[in-house]
Amino acid sequence: MIPARFAPILFGFILSGLMSCIVTCIATVKEVGFGPATFSSWMGAWGVSWPVAFAVVLFVAPLTRRLVALLVRPEA
């Protein structure tokens, strides 16, 4: 098992992987349609986008948490 202190990083890794997988699938199908090259094009796009998405999630998540904290009222 992975130590709990790595939970935010693991969360970002899994989230970025799933989101980039879904988004690149949609973009690839939109661009090339369904056909013999679809899967390889999708995997090529996903392979490039996942590391970028992971880095962005690690950088943007703390900023997003702060923005959300500014926008919501604490519950009584």
Residue 3, pLDDT above cutoff 90: yes
56 located within any domain = yes
Does residue 76 lie within any of the structural domains? Answer: no
Domain count for the chain = 1
Q: Is residue 16 part of a domain?
A: yes
With respect to residue 1, please indicate whether it lies within any of the assigned structural domains. no
Q: Which domain holds residue 25?
A: 6-71
pLDDT of the residue at 75: 87
Which among 51, 49, 54, 9 is positioned nearest to 26, based on CA atoms? 49
Confirm if 28 and 38 have CB atoms less than 8 A apart.
yes
Q: Is residue 42 part of a domain?
A: yes
Q: Is the dihedral of CA 28, 12, 56, 48 positive or negative?
A: negative
Confidence of residue 53 (pLDDT cuts 50, 70, 90): very high
Task: Answer whether residue 67 is part of any domain.
Answer: yes
pLDDT band at 69 (very low <50, low <70, confident <90, very high): very high
Residue pair 23/49 in contact by the 8 Å Cβ criterion: yes
H or E segment to which residue 67 belongs: helix 38-71
